[in-house]
Amino acid sequence: MSIHQLGRSTFGDVINSGNLMTIEEANELLNDWVPNERLRLHMKQVGALMRTWAIEKENADDHTALKWELAGLLHDADWEKYPNDHCRVIIEELERRQIDPEVIHCIASHGPRYFGVEPLNNMDKMIYAFDELSGFIHAAALIRPTRYEGMDAKSIMKKLKTPSFAAQVNRDDITDALSRIDTPLEELITFVIKHQQSVQ
């Protein structure tokens, strides 16, 4: 992967704190920037996981839940069209649109090894934890005749230990992300299975 470090650690402007966009506006951006339906689904899944986590675990109000969802929804928005500049392009677009700096920092820190930005708050840590795991679990669902139905966390944990399965998913990133939060892997997998299966 030819992803470059971002080379900076502050994003957006605090003057724009609280400035979000609607889900419709975010979806419009995705439709423009991301022709690949599978990648769009991935972002919608991570968006839904972020939103649900914020509400269920962080007691988030509507505005905060939207903030978490937007970060998930937009985190890979530039991946398809600008693979060599992944993250930088969407970050600059959100800065141009004067979006809340926490949303931008969250996106910038979703892969610390690649972008060189450390996850700081819970929103940052959860996008990092959900990103690879969500894709991995969806890959596992696609090869099951019944998809998500009857899927359990144990079978996913076993597949994570099988390097040949979904080999492109970096297990070290999952381990590193999990080391930064208090939720055990099995519990997080159960949450992902439960909440991303209905996302379309």
> Interface residues with Fe ion (CB under 5 A)?
76, 131
* Least spacing, CB of residue 75 vs Fe ion, in Å: 5
Cβ-count burial 12-22 (b if 16+ within 10 Å, e if not): beeebeeebbe
Which of 73, 160 has the CB closer to Fe ion? Answer: 73
Q: Which is nearer to Fe ion, 114 or 148 (CB)?
A: 114
CB nearer Fe ion, residue 78 or residue 131 = 131
Q: Which residue lies nearer to Fe ion by CB, 43 or 193? A: 43
Query: How crowded is residue 128: how many other Cβ atoms within 10 Å of its Cβ?
Result: 25
Q: How far is the CB of 159 from Fe ion (least distance, A)?
A: 19
Spatial separation of the C-alpha atoms in residues 105 and 99, rounded to whole Å: 11
Residues 6+ apart with CB under 8 A from 63: 18, 20
In the bound state with Fe ion, the residue whose beta carbon lies nearer, of 46 and 160, is 46
> Smallest distance, Å, CB 42 to Fe ion?
6
Spatial CA neighbour of 110 closest among 192, 188, 176 = 176
Q: What would the two tokens of residue 30 be?
A: 């995705």
CB of 123 to Fe ion, least distance (A): 15
Q: How far is the CB of 134 from Fe ion (least distance, A)?
A: 7
Provide the CA 145 distance to its chain's centre, in angstroms.
Answer: 26
Task: Tell the smallest beta-carbon distance from residue 165 to Fe ion (Å).
Answer: 18
Residue 61: Cβ within 10 Å count: 11
Residue 102 or 131: the one with the smaller Cβ distance to Fe ion is 131
HSE-CB at 74 with a 13 A cutoff on CA atoms is 33
Sign of CA dihedral 173, 179, 180, 185: positive
